[in-house]
Structure 1
């Protein structure tokens, strides 16, 4: 299996449970890994034979900068299902890592994140 990775995309959104998250917003980082077959695209140099990662970026941006949800788990699920639905013949699996670098909770830590993997299983 081959992979396309979109690493550390950064967006500003208003997701969260706490009132200040909904009012002030915060940065989010998203890394998406798509399980795809890249051989045909590599041999033909044809964009139609792969996944257009500019479209994947736009979908991630739309989710993070769009309608707020309480949980980053929910945002990650929306991204994963949106990509799987957009590319039913090309993407066989997806991994979404969604990082909240500055959550408004006290303590010393680098960030909080969720890491989900979804795929088509027969």
Structure 2
């Protein structure tokens, strides 16, 4: 077993429940972990036996471009797309999405959600 990890993907998006978040937007940081058996990929040096991290990045970028009220909803959409991409290989997926400088009355650097999905 192994993991493919994309750390600190930095994107801009329009997510949130407050009306101004839909047109002002905010910066987000996304981290993804995908666990799979890539023993065949490591032996055969064959991309088709693993998950292309460029494709994972593209999924995140495309889903971040679709407005959501909740980061939980956004995370679930990303996980579902990743599972569809290589459902036969993926054993576990974890995603962490952080909104940088959230619109709160106090000094908070970021607000994050973490969603994990274990393939059944």
| TM-score when normalising by structure 2 | 0.96
- The unaligned stretches of length 5 or more in structure 1 are none
- The residue aligned with 1:120 is 119
Tell me what 2:90 maps to: 91
Which runs of structure 2 are paired with 1:16-27 in the superposition (5 Å)?
Answer: 16-27=16-27
Runs of 4+ with deviation above 2 angstroms: none
Equivalent position SS for 1:92: strand
In 1, distance between residues paired with 2:118 and 2:80? 9
CA deviation string 1:21-47 (max 9, x = no partner)? 111111111100001112111111111
Which SS does the other structure have where 1:75 is aligned? helix
> Whole-Å Cα distance in 2 between the matches of residues 86 and 48 of structure 1?
12
Aligned residues: 120
Q: TM-score, normalised by structure 1?
A: 0.94
**Aligned-partner SS, 1:31:** strand
Equivalent residues in 2 for 1:26-65, closer than 5 Å:
26-65=26-65
How far apart are the structure 2 equivalents of 1:106 and 1:41? 49
CA contact (8 A) 2:7 2:32 kept: yes
Which residue is 2:5 aligned to?
5
The whole-number CA distance in structure 2 between the counterparts of 1:51 and 1:108 is 39
Contact kept in structure 1, 2:101 and 2:108, CA below 8 Å: no
Q: For each residue in 1:39-96, what CA deviation from the matched residue of structure 2 results, as whole angstroms up to 9, or x when unmatched?
A: 111111111111001001000000112x211000100010111101111111111000
Q: RMSD of the TM alignment (CA)? A: 0.9
